Structure 1
Amino acid sequence: MVRNRSLEGKTVIVTGASMGIGRHMVRECARLGAHTIIIARSTDKLERLRSEILMQYDVAVDSFTLDMGDRNALRQTFETIKWQYPKIDVLINNAGFGVFTQFEEMRFEDIEHMFAVNVLGMMTATRMILPKMRQQGDGHVINVASMAGKVATPKSIVYSASKAAVLSFTNGLRSEVRKQGIRVTAVNLGPVKTNFFKTADPEGNYVKSVERWMLEPEAVAEKVIAVIGRKKREINLPFSMNAGAKLYQLFPGAVDTFAGRIINKK
């Protein structure tokens, strides 16, 4: 295989890096020669990933333990990163989680934490890094949103609302920084085979209903990393769910009526 040299010598930040899609994105960046800065809550998992990368690839990798919902700690960590690294080429805002339950039954603490991590954490990290990218005249921000941000469904309406905010923010940011040499991409995914659902769907009902459409995290990571440096507006996976989201935007009433049984399988 001919090595893609587009990331060699680049510095890439990945939040939510210790598991799932984030972990695979870090590995793909390292394979392509990037210096990765990996961020997650678990020090042990970060160190295991860091050790694996250093053993397999001739690249630098640095880790920072951080809860993206803690904005004071987030600011301190990203302030350190800004001063420690002369150039940041890519910020991948991947950290996020969901809780799938009826809105009236959801704890308000879970609602607050979801928005703190999924939305405010993403915005804060982006705001901390943008001045450096603007000064460089180059950079790429990739925000992992969700198909749920395009079509809200029962039991995941708060998660959907948080990801709709991510998507809306991403679209607006793209317009604001376009003339400054900064690219902005939204990643809208359907269900992925990761530990995400251990928190979101502990009983496993939703996973059973969508198992046929579930994406492999390795394949998703490859597609996301492949767009770095390109003016790619969105990545939408899988195709069938993206088609359904477009149909919903055109005929919301009809989709609510005829797809109700599928939508209510959580």
Structure 2
Amino acid sequence: MCEIECARILPATWLWSPVQQVVWVTGAAGGLGKCIAAELAAKGCHVAVCDINFDLAVTTSKEIANKYGVKSKAYKVDVTKYDEIVELNEKLTHDIGAATILVNNAGLLTHTDQLNPTVPEIELMVKVNYLSHFLTNRVFLPNMKQAKRGHIVAICSITGLLTVTRSEPYCSAKTAVRTLMRVLRAELRLYGITGIGVTTVYPPFLTTHAGMVKNVRNSGYAKLYPLLKGEKMAQRIVHGMLRGEVEIGVPGFVMIVYRFIAILPSIVQDGFAHALAALKNY
């Protein structure tokens, strides 16, 4: 919890200013997305609240505008459909301005049967949790290149670092996001494109994970590390963005554990995954 508290108390040494920039946050009607949108609005950003749940997005947008005095508007979009993202980018540019900050937060974890999800469920999870990042990056990155500034944030997951059993579609999609963002960083550098930050976030289970909280609290995971509130996580994310951090892991020791495991023989890594599965126990 210490790093979360430090991020809240200590002022960031800003490498760039978010003031007056337009941010596009997916899955922003509620949960962690709403918390990130509010935190960026508090820093002076104008916010596009994007979600498949339009009614809730409208409510959230009004709350942000009233509380922080910034421009905020709700948009309904299916982040798995490229044409809808392109259309939204055009609408947003006309309504508020070209978005130069992109937060890919939308995520999905749904199984009718955790051990044997249906094919449509697998397809949807891969599209929402991975493909949407690829599509939104492709649409909004030109805005940033033209403005010669910007930031892309991918909300990944702790499961993008550690092997988690009984979560094949979710875990593999989040691992793909980690690779996508690393390739993006490398390509920006290769082509000499500066002023555009790239941050990948690996959050733990949060109290905002509706439908999962009860299961997680009953598992061994909650004994290892307590569930965090979305507001705390959002503060840590924005703090890291402004400091130019390329990867944010919470709790911090997860990044160390991940890098240590990566150098071990495969048989040892498999043993660790088995031990983690026993701890998970749900």
* Aligned counterpart for 2:70 among listed residues 54, 59, 65: 59
Residue in structure 2 matched with residue 222 of structure 1 by the alignment: 235
| Structure-2 change in CA distance of 1:2 and 1:157 (3 Å) | closer
Q: Which runs of 5+ in 2 are unaligned?
A: 1-8
Residue in structure 2 matched with residue 208 of structure 1 by the alignment: 218
> Contact 2:156 / 2:202 at 8 angstroms: preserved in 1?
yes
Cα RMSD for the two superposed structures: 2.5
Q: Please give the alpha-carbon distance, in whole angstroms, between the structure 2 residues aligned to 1:115 and 1:144.
A: 14
Listed as ranges, the matches of 1:1-266 within 5 Å are: 6-99=17-110, 105-178=116-189, 179-181=192-194, 182-196=196-210, 198=211, 201=212, 204-209=214-219, 210-212=221-223, 213=225, 214-251=227-264, 252-257=266-271, 260-264=274-278, 265-266=281-282
| Structure-2 change in CA distance of 1:56 and 1:3 (3 Å) | farther
1:82 Cα deviation (Å)? 4.2
| Structure-2 change in CA distance of 1:255 and 1:49 (3 Å) | same
SS in 2 for 1:227: helix
> Contact 2:29 / 2:60 at 8 angstroms: preserved in 1?
yes
1:100 Cα deviation (Å)? 5.7
1:3 Cα deviation (Å)? 9.2
SS in 1 for 2:126: helix
1:44 Cα deviation (Å)? 1.7
SS in 1 for 2:241: coil
Q: Please give the alpha-carbon distance, in whole angstroms, between the structure 1 residues aligned to 2:180 and 2:234.
A: 22
Letter in 2 for 1:120: L
TM-score using structure 1 length: 0.88
TM-score using structure 2 length: 0.83
Q: Please give the alpha-carbon distance, in whole angstroms, between the structure 1 residues aligned to 2:250 and 2:242.
A: 20
Q: Please give the alpha-carbon distance, in whole angstroms, between the structure 2 residues aligned to 1:165 and 1:259.
A: 18
1:51 Cα deviation (Å)? 1.9
Percent identity (aligned): 25
Letter in 1 for 2:208: T
Deviations 1:123-169 (A, max 9, x none): 11110011111111111111111121122211112101100111100
Letter in 1 for 2:241: I
Q: Which runs of 5+ in 1 are unaligned?
A: none
Q: Please give the alpha-carbon distance, in whole angstroms, between the structure 1 residues aligned to 2:121 and 2:37.
A: 28
Letter in 1 for 2:58: E
